[in-house]
């Protein structure tokens, strides 16, 4: 594992660091303003994001094992396909974030704010959500009992995604079949002599 002795404070610093290497493990992002940043496919193992502003950030396919996000702001961020195993997210603000396919296994999310966030298909085994704020949050396909300490109260479950276009096509086909069958059934029968 390569340790980058970088202190990254802005999106420009981040862009320059990514040009050097996709492995930014151990990088220092403390109190950085990375609002609206795009982090995709990066190695950020043991990275320090304490107090960083990642509002509206797009974070996809990154390995953030043991990263520290305590006190960071990810308001309205999109988190997709991340490994956040054993991360420290104490007091992290995930308000209105969209979180999908994230591995939180063994993570510390005590006091994290998930207000109005949407969480989907994520692994929470062994994660600690004690005192997490879940006002208006919704979730789909998360096994909360596997968490060391699930949030209390739990977010509201989302209904599974509707397959309405397929259902509408089937309904139209059935109505068309019924209409054709009905027209044939009502046709007068003529006998040929």
User: What does pTM read for this prediction?
Assistant: 0.79
Specify the pLDDT at position 172.
87
- Position 163 scores a pLDDT of 65
- The domain limits of the chain are 1-163
Report whether 48 contacts 70 (CB < 8 A): no
The answer to whether domain 1-163 has CATH 2.160.20.80 is yes
Chain centroid offset of residue 89 CA: 15
Query: Distance between CA atoms of 150 and 65, rounded to whole angstroms?
Result: 21
- The pLDDT, as a whole number, for residue 51 is 97
Decide if 31 contacts 49 (C-beta within 8 A).
no
Q: Please tell me the predicted confidence (pLDDT) of residue 45.
A: 96
Q: Match 């107090």 to its residue by tokens.
A: 51
Q: What is the pLDDT of residue 6?
A: 74
Q: What are phi and psi of 64, to 5 degrees?
A: -115, 30
Three-state DSSP string of the chain: CCCCCCECCCHHHHHHHHHHCCECCCCECCCCECCCCEEECCECCCCECCCCECCCCEEECCECCCCECCCCECCCCEEECCECCCCECCCCECCCCEEECCECCCCECCCCECCCCEEECCECCCCECCCCECCCCEEECCCHHHCCECCCCCCEECCCCCCHHHHHHHHHHHHHHHHHHHHHHHCCCCCCC
Residues lower than pLDDT 70 in the chain: 1-5, 160-164, 185-193
pLDDT, residue 27, reads 93
């Amino acid at each position: 594992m390569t340790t980058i002795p970088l202190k990254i404070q802005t999106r420009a610093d981040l862009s320059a660091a990514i040009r050097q290497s996709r492995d930014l493990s151990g990088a220092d992002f403390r109190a950085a303003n990375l609002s609206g940043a795009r982090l995709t496919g990066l190695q950020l193992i043991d990275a320090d994001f304490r107090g960083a502003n990642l509002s509206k950030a797009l974070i996809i396919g990154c390995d953030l094992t043991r990263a520290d996000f305590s006190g960071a702001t990810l308001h309205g961020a999109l988190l997709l396909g991340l490994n956040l195993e054993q991360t420290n997210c104490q007091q992290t603000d995930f308000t209105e974030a969209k979180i999908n396919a994230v591995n939180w296994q063994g993570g510390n999310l005590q006091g994290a704010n998930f207000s109005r966030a949407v969480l989907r298909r994520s692994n929470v085994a062994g994660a600690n959500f004690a005192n997490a704020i879940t006002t208006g949050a919704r979730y789909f396909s998360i096994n909360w009992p596997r968490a060391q300490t699930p949030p209390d109260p739990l977010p509201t479950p989302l209904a599974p995604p509707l397959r309405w276009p397929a259902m509408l096509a089937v309904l139209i086909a059935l109505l068309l079949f019924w209409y054709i069958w009905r027209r044939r059934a009502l046709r007068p029968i003529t006998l040929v002599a």
